[in-house]
Structure 1
Amino acid sequence: MTKNEVKLIMKDKTQEIKVSSTSKAIPVEIASEKVTTAPPTISSEIQQVFLPLLKNSNLAMQEIKNRYQKEVTLENASLVYTPGVIGKAIIHFQDKNMELREDQERNLILSSSEFMNWEKSQEVKISGLLSGPEQKGKFSEIPSSLNDPKDFNELKKSFTDFLFYNSNFKLYHSPPLKIYSKPNESKAEFILRLNQMARESRDEEVDKIEQKYAKEFEKLKLKMSKSQDTLTKKQATASSLKQEALLSAGESVVGMFMGRRSTSSASKAMNKYQKSKTVSVDIDKAQKDIVSINQEMESLENELKAQIEIIKQRREKEINEVKEVIIQPKKSDIEIKMVSLAWIPKWEITYKENGNKKMEIITAYY
């Protein structure tokens, strides 16, 4: 599949439908009012088929009643087969990069009109074609152009051209995730699948970054534990030194009252006091370390939350970026199954509405 065969278009754009310049409009004589009870004779080189009768006269009459929303009286219902052309084809859409291998069936009907051109065709779903009429009826006259094998060959060529320019297969694409939708997967289903994939990718990415930050948290927790142990020990030492200093000072005072001067007790008290001051400095440092570590942990936690939020926003943006991909077929991918004369069943309904006699033609194959 080449770049020219794949067109990426945004969802707010629509595809331009081209019409082949080589497609010929074959003039057809308008059928006269002449009808017969048997199929007209046609060239042996032209295949003819009959469309199935899917609507009986009662349903045709009900269709008229529904249209007028009032009671009408049926007078007569005649089955008439009119000539047309049916084109059947299978288009093979293939693309390895998109993992696309899908067949599309096209069934087009051309009714007799002034010009037999596939632009005027109607897409139909037909369960099966018949080799003869299901029910007795009348047959309209065949225009001379529909009884000419050369004109049918032209219709076959123009059918291929028409399908080439008017057939495509639509997929959806997520450029950030580099994923295409599955054949016949709706946009809603595709986005739902992207959501699931994005959640899984997001969770995996968040797990990795949480593991990375967990190591930093462990280091800080270890520092915090050491600082708290140091603080506890220093506080215990300070408390002990204060008590010892008080005891030494007490001994010195008692000695003075008893007429004994004890330089040793005073010296001990002073030493204890000096040590307690040093320990107080250590306690102050340990407390500051704990505050600093708490701030580091809080900052690290905020940083982790910010990183997770960035991941979530990026994944959400990826989900919302979905484009339509229009794949056009190659001519070699178009397999023409049939271009044949088709007898189209129609009901010629005669009825009365408000006393006025009327006649309508109701198509009976859909």
Structure 2
Amino acid sequence: KSVQVSPVEAEAAAPSPSAAPAAAPPAGPTVPAGFAATPPALTPTTEQVYLPIAVDERAAIRQLAQEEGAQIDVKLAQLVYEPAVLGMGEVRFYDRRRNVDERLIHAMLAQPPRGIGGVEWGQAENLSLRLRDLLRNPERVEAEQGPFFAPAPEKVNNANDLKNAAKDLSDWLYYNSDLELKVHEELDIHQEPGENERDFKIRLQQAAREARDAEVDKLRGKLQSQIDRVTEKLRKEERELAGDQADYESRRSQEWIGIGESVLGFVLGRRSSRALSNAASKRRMTVQARQDIEESEDQIAELKDDIKELEAQIKEGADEITLRWAKSIDNLSVEAVKPRRTDVNVELTALAWLPSWLVSYHDGRRERTATVAAYSLPK
């Protein structure tokens, strides 16, 4: 902005030749309202950590532009830190019967308590963080960008408060942690920790097929032994039938020979009661041989029917077993493995400083500011 002045005013305002102009103090960075250029002073025993930056300045600006739905004119992006409470712990889930031994890491980020009461761990966010990811100092940026720090919370700003928060976190993890496992009781199979649904179902189907095959084999073995016994009887009857048929043919031949001899004797006038008796006897034996054939044929037909019935039982039983195991795949229950008190270990409870980008920009209508979280948010 230019200002017009007169020559007299300019001469009066000009410094005397003997006076040197005073050096202007260097302009410091503009500190955002509600923040300070230095972290708040806390006791050395107060555990403090800084969350790493996961969203850099450019990514934050892109995210903001996407939210605005238009191009924005960024004036300044400053790094600010705000306080929260971070608790990190490990929970072990052990079940000897299920052969489960799983450990889960929790990085719980909670807001500092307000008023009466402690940290509300039930309202905390679970972050994807490890102890090695945490920083002991803030990130470095350009001087005009900060970093700048919000005031420390009224509570949880000393070692004693953090110790109480750690105890509360241990209690919360103990009472609220469980490892749910899908279980198929009949197959005695459970979903392994971390196993996805597809892989678990493939294992179930494979186990069900193996159980089905074993049951079908058992049924087939039981009925096959009966089929084998009936088949042996059938072969015996078929051998007897062949003998009966040969005997029948022999009897018929002898009967026809006897009839021929009787007719010849009658023609020659040598008819006798003995010849008639022999002819009658041969006739009876032929009839008996024919009856033996019919009995063998009936027995063979009955045995064949028995074999068909047993084979049908195998097929029907196998179909029923296959259908039952196919339906049983979905017969799942859920078991929860709970930790023991000694299985809960709180590794860290600290005052955590959360990085964000405070962006000053013009949206085409007016100057605005927005805050974009720079740490990794829970998914």
Q: Report the TM range for the smaller structure's normalisation.
A: 0.7 to 0.9
> Which residue of the other structure, out of 361, 364, 367, is the alignment partner of 1:351?
361
Query: Aligned runs of 1:1-366 on 2, under 5 Å?
Result: 33-111=33-111, 114=114, 116-127=119-130, 128-136=133-141, 137-261=147-271, 263=273, 265-366=275-376
* Secondary structure of the corresponding residue to residue 137 of structure 2: coil
Query: How far apart are the structure 2 equivalents of 1:76 and 1:299?
Result: 89
- What one-letter code is carried by the residue in structure 1 that aligns with 2:54? L
1:111: Cα distance to partner? 4.0
TM-score after normalising by structure 1:
0.84
Structure 1 residues 179 and 163: CA distance shift in structure 2, 3 A = same
* Secondary structure of the corresponding residue to residue 359 of structure 1: strand
- What one-letter code is carried by the residue in structure 1 that aligns with 2:349? V
User: Does the CA-based 8 Å contact 2:187-2:207 persist in structure 1?
Assistant: no
The one-character-per-residue Cα deviations of 1:237-286 (angstroms, maximum 9, x if unpaired) are 22222222223222322333344435554443332212101111111111
The one-character-per-residue Cα deviations of 1:6-27 (angstroms, maximum 9, x if unpaired) are xxxxxxxxxxxxxxxxxxxxxx
More strand by share: 1
**Structure whose CA Rg is larger:** 2
1:150: Cα distance to partner? 3.1
Structure 1 residue runs without a partner (length 5+) = 1-31
User: Does the CA-based 8 Å contact 1:244-1:269 persist in structure 2?
Assistant: no
* Secondary structure of the corresponding residue to residue 162 of structure 1: helix
How large is the Cα RMSD of the aligned pairs? 2.3
Sequence identity (%): 27
Query: How far apart are the structure 2 equivalents of 1:61 and 1:282?
Result: 104
- What one-letter code is carried by the residue in structure 1 that aligns with 2:157? N
* Secondary structure of the corresponding residue to residue 294 of structure 2: helix
Query: How far apart are the structure 2 equivalents of 1:184 and 1:163?
Result: 20
Structure 2 residue runs without a partner (length 5+) = 1-31, 142-146
User: Does the CA-based 8 Å contact 2:72-2:361 persist in structure 1?
Assistant: yes
The one-character-per-residue Cα deviations of 1:311-333 (angstroms, maximum 9, x if unpaired) are 33443454332111122323332
- What one-letter code is carried by the residue in structure 1 that aligns with 2:310? L
* Secondary structure of the corresponding residue to residue 101 of structure 1: strand
TM-score after normalising by structure 2:
0.81
Moved over 6 A (4+): none
Query: How far apart are the structure 2 equivalents of 1:283 and 1:66?
Result: 97
Query: How far apart are the structure 2 equivalents of 1:84 and 1:130?
Result: 15
* Secondary structure of the corresponding residue to residue 252 of structure 2: helix
Query: How far apart are the structure 1 equivalents of 2:158 and 2:134?
Result: 22
User: Does the CA-based 8 Å contact 2:86-2:107 persist in structure 1?
Assistant: yes
